[in-house]
Structure 1
Amino acid sequence: MLRIGLTGGIGSGKTTISSLLKEKGIPIVDADIIAREVLKEYPIIIQTIKEKFGSEFIDKNGELIRRKFGNFIFKNPLKRLEYEKIIIPYIKKEIFDQMNQYEKLGEMACVVDAPTLIEQGLNECMDFNILVWVDRETQIERVKERDKLKYEEILDRINSQMSLNEKRKMVDFIIDNTFTIEETKKQVEKLVRVIKSGV
C-alpha cells in the first residue's frame, strides 16, 4: 500500500484537498480528527494537561476548552512543545494503527492528512509527500474569514508551524491552492492519476 503524506499550513485548504481525494476513493487518515478522539480515548491526556497547564483549560464536563487552550499554547512556544510531547505519541500510534487497518483491507493507497507532518517527522515514514500551498496573504485572509480570529492570534498559529515555503523544499508534489476551486480540482485529478498508477 502506498503511504502518502498530505500537509499544509492553517488556512491553506488542506481539508478541501483531503475531501477531494476522499471523493476519488482514496482513504484518509486525518490527524486533526485523531487529535480530538485521543482526548476522549485516553483520559490521562486531559489529566496531564490539567496538572501541567491548569484546570482553567478544562470545562465542567472534563473536556478541553480548545480555543482558550490554543490561544495559550500558540502564544507560548515552549508550552506548545510541552503539550506536543504529551499528545503526539498517542496521535502517532492511532495514525499507524489506521494505516495498518487500511493495508489489511487491501487498499492500494492511503493518505495521512497532518498539519505538522514534517515537523513531527511523519513525512519520513511516507512513500511520498504532498504540500497544499498558498501565499501568506491568502492564508491570513482565509483563517480570518473561517475562524474569526484576531490578526495576532492568526499570526501566532501560522508562526507556530514551519513556513509553507520551507515545506516546499521537503515534499514531492505541490498543490497550489491560491486560485479557483476548478484549478485546484485539476491538480487533484492529476495527483490521483499519479497515485493510481502506483507512482
Structure 2
Amino acid sequence: MIIGIIGIIGEAGVGKTTATNFFQNKGAYVIFVDKVVKHIYTLKETKKALINEFGNTFINNDKTINKEKLRYEAFYYPNILRKLENIIWPTMTKIVEDDIIRNKGQQSLIVIDCAVLFNAKLNLLVDKVILIEAEEDKKIQRIKIRDNVNDLQVIALLSQQKKYLILNKDIDFTIKNNGTINDFIKQLQKVEKKLLTIKPKD
C-alpha cells in the first residue's frame, strides 16, 4: 500500500487529470487545486480583497467577479498576476493544508493536482512530485479538443505557462505522455510500484 502525499504537475494538455483519476481509482484522496481556486472566487472575502486592490475593475454590474476579464488581465500583465496571487494563494494554501489534515489519518495516499505546486510552495506539503510532459503538438491538440479553442489561443497559453510555471526542480518522477491512454496508464503503473517505497514526511 502506498502511504504519503504526492504532487502532480505539468503544463496544460499533458494529462494531469488522467493521472489523478488513475490514483483516485486506486483509492487515493485527490485535491484538485483548480477546484479549490474556483471555490475561493465564490467567497465574499475574495471579492472584498479584489475591490480593495483593484477597485471595481473586475466586478460586473450584478456585483459578481468578472473572472474572464481578470484571467485575461492576469495573463498579459505580470503585476496584476502577482497581486492576484497574493489574494488567492494564502487562502488556497490554508484550504489544501486543512484538507490534508482532515484526510491524512483516513487515506493512505493523498494526491495534489496543481500546476503551480512549486510557484505556490505547496511542494512543501508533499513527499514526492510527478512531472508529466508531452510533445507540443500533442498538448495543442488535447487543449483544442478540451477547451474548444484555436491554435493561436493554445500556443499563447502554453507560451505563457513556459515563462511562468516552475516545473524543473525537485522532480522525483517524469512521465512522457505522447502515446495512447493505455501507454500512459502503463507508465503510471510503473511509477505506482516505485511509490510503494516512499517514506512519508512527519
Give me the identity figure in percent. 24
Q: Which amino acid letter does the alignment assign opposite residue 14 of structure 1?
A: K
Residue in structure 2 matched with residue 144 of structure 1 by the alignment: 144
Deviation at 1:26, TM superposition (A): 1.0
Give the drift of 1:164. 10
> Relative to total residues, which structure has the larger helix share, 1 or 2?
1
Distance 1:32 1:90 in 2: 13
Partner of 2:113: 113
Q: In structure 2, the residue corresponding to 1:129 is in which secondary structure?
A: strand
The C-alpha deviation readout for 1:146-182, integer Å capped at 9, x for no partner, is 2233545434432333469972553111121121000
- Is the Cα contact below 8 Å between 1:9 and 1:163 reproduced in 2? no
Unaligned 5+ runs, structure 2? none
Gaps in structure 1 of 5+ consecutive residues: none
Q: Are 1:78 and 2:79 counterparts?
A: yes
1:63-102 matches, cutoff 5 A: 63-102=64-103
Secondary structure (helix, strand or coil) at the match of 2:41 reads: helix
Aligned position for 1:123: 123
What TM-score results when the alignment is normalised by the length of structure 2? 0.84
Structure 2 SS opposite 1:29:
strand
CA distance in 2, matches of 1:164, 1:46: 25
| Count of residues in Structure 1 that have an aligned counterpart in Structure 2 | 197
Report the aligned-residue RMSD.
2.5
Partner of 1:9: 11
Structure 1 partner of 2:46: 45
- Report if the CA contact (8 A) 2:119-2:165 is conserved: no
Q: Assess, with a 3 A threshold, how the Cα gap between structure 1 residues 174 and 190 changes in structure 2: closer, same or farther.
A: same
CA distance in 1, matches of 2:82, 2:156: 14
**Separation in 2 of the partners of 1:39 and 1:112?**
20
